[in-house]
Homo-oligomer: A and B are copies of this chain.
Amino acid sequence: MWYMGSQDPKQRLLDKVIDHLATHGLGDLSLRQLAAAIGTSHRMLNYHFGSRSGLLVEVVREVERRQQQRFNDFLRELESHARSTTQTPLFPEIAWRWWQHISDPHLWPHERLFFEIYGQALTGHPELAGFLTRVVESWLDPLIRFARAYGIPEPEARTEARLALAVTRGLLLDLLATGDRAGVDAAMKRQIAHYVTNHTNSAGVDVTKTT
């Protein structure tokens, strides 16, 4: 194909769609308005995605894919940092860095889109059912491995992972609504401190200094 070298036109379209939805919300999911906003005709959206719900499904999959991508990027960044300093970072440091990573304002549009999809999926939207089955489980496994790697024993690891996920999402919801960076950061530090004093093998670090 003549466009090989850039991208599948479908993927190019999907990228533009997600960029637009992240900044303008899912409410604009009228094929016509959407197409006009990203410089195509609604005919093209129907052609490449089959239907409105087909597009919605692919948008959701792409959002999930990007989240996973972000997590992998973070892990690689951690790894390279560990190589340069030769000492493996402590648990509270990593937790705090991860929080800084995903709470960065330039990710807010995507996080808003994530929670909007979450909300719509909760009310029975049938094409989003798969999203709900994955939205917790797909994060639990990597988090459990993480917890185990830092010495939290197995039966607790799953519970702590689930809790960490909930805290993160709850505080993100807060941050997106209030924009109160200082207040939300303080809460996250407090939570990390809770972990530390309850798992003595990684205690002894003042997380309030990790800023």
Contact = CB atoms under 8 A, between A and B. Distances in A.
A8 interface: no
Contacts of A180: 136
B169 A184 contact: no
Contact of A120 (B27, B171, B178, B184): B27
Interface size classification for chain A = 35 or more
A167 B163 contact: yes
A191 B174 contact: no
A113 interface: yes
A115 B135 CA distance: 15
Contacts of A9: none
Given A169-B170, A174-B165, A198-B194, A159 B135 contact: no
A23 B169 CA distance: 24
B169 A173 contact: yes
A95 interface: no
A163 B192 CA distance: 11
Contacts of A133: 177-178
Contacts of A27: 120, 123, 125
Nearest to A186: B159
Contact of A173 (B25, B116, B118, B183): B118
Interface in A23-72: 24-27
Nearest to A116: B119
26 contacts: A24-B124, A25-B120, A26-B119, A26-B120, A112-B119, A112-B122, A115-B115, A115-B118, A116-B122, A117-B119, A118-B119, A118-B173, A119-B119, A122-B177, A133-B177, A133-B178, A136-B180, A137-B178, A159-B186, A159-B190, A160-B190, A163-B191, A166-B171, A169-B170, A170-B170, A191-B194
Given A112-B119, A159-B187, A166-B166, 12 more contacts: A26-B123, A112-B123, A115-B115, A116-B119, A116-B122, A156-B190, A159-B190, A162-B171, A163-B190, A169-B173, A170-B171, A194-B194
